[in-house]
């Protein structure tokens, strides 16, 4: 059995999704890579929303299709991280958001999980036809920058995002296409 797996959200993890959300609300950290989890108090509603976001036919008009994964530590079936893969880039994502967002549960940081989670997500990107992955992070987010670099990220530029009033560093990860 693998030590860690990426799986799509299901009701089996409803309680852990709610706990994950609570931990981030308490820590005040940004809930990156979770889509609209911050504003959804009902994990069931969140799980169905994630499903509708995967396909162009059902994703809300203002969003691009995206796949949500839970990063599960298999020995104790614990949700330790979350990662979202956007299938395409709209104007905002092209400049600021990138293809991938992720986060690790506050109590589980500095154990290499972000690095492992991003690594596991890259083959899925290739599977859905993304061979050059744009990943961005706020300048000064050392943990995220190291995560991107450890996964082959090549720095391209830094841009100012006026909405959040932050400088964002942009990196590209090239992955081998699946033949």
Ligand X SMILES: CC(C)(COP(=O)(O)OP(=O)(O)OC[C@H]1O[C@@H](n2cnc3c(N)ncnc32)[C@H](O)[C@@H]1OP(=O)(O)O)[C@@H](O)C(=O)NCCC(=O)NCCS
Q: Point out which residues bind ligand X (CB under 6 A).
A: 29-30, 32, 101-104, 109-115, 137, 141-144, 146-147, 150
- Which residue's C-beta sits nearest to ligand X? 143
Judged by CB, which is closer to ligand X: 51, or 108? 108
Q: Which residue, 67 or 147, is less far from ligand X as judged by CB? A: 147
Nearest to 79 by CA among 68, 65, 95, 92: 68
**Minimum distance, C-beta of residue 143 to ligand X, in the bound complex (Å):** 3
- Tell me the closest approach of the beta carbon of residue 135 to ligand X, in angstroms: 7
In whole angstroms, the minimum distance from the beta carbon of 149 to ligand X comes to 8
Q: Counting Cβ atoms within 10 Å, is residue 139 exposed (0-12), middle (13-18) or buried (19+)?
A: middle
Q: CA-CA distances (angstroms) from residue 87 to 1, 16, 25? A: 28, 26, 27
Between 32 and 50, whose beta carbon lies closer to ligand X? 32
With contact defined as beta carbons under 8 Å apart, do 54 and 67 qualify? Answer: yes
């Amino acid at each position: 059995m693998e030590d860690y797996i990426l799986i799509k959200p299901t009701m089996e993890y409803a309680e852990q999704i709610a706990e994950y959300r609570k931990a981030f609300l308490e820590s005040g950290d940004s809930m990156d890579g979770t889509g609209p989890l911050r504003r959804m108090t009902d994990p069931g509603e969140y799980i169905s929303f994630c499903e509708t976001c995967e396909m162009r036919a059902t994703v809300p008009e203002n969003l691009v299709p995206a796949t949500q994964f839970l990063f599960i530590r298999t020995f104790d079936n614990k949700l330790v991280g979350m990662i979202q893969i956007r299938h395409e880039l709209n104007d905002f994502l092209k400049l600021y958001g990138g293809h991938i967002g992720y986060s690790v549960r506050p109590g589980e940081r500095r154990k290499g999980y972000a690095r492992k989670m991003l690594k596991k997500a890259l083959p899925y990107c290739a599977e859905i036809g993304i061979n050059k992955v744009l990943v961005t992070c706020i300048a000064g987010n050392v943990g995220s920058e190291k995560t991107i670099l450890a996964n082959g990220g090549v720095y391209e530029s830094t841009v100012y995002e006026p909405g959040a009033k932050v400088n964002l560093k942009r990196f590209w990860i090239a992955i081998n296409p699946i033949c």
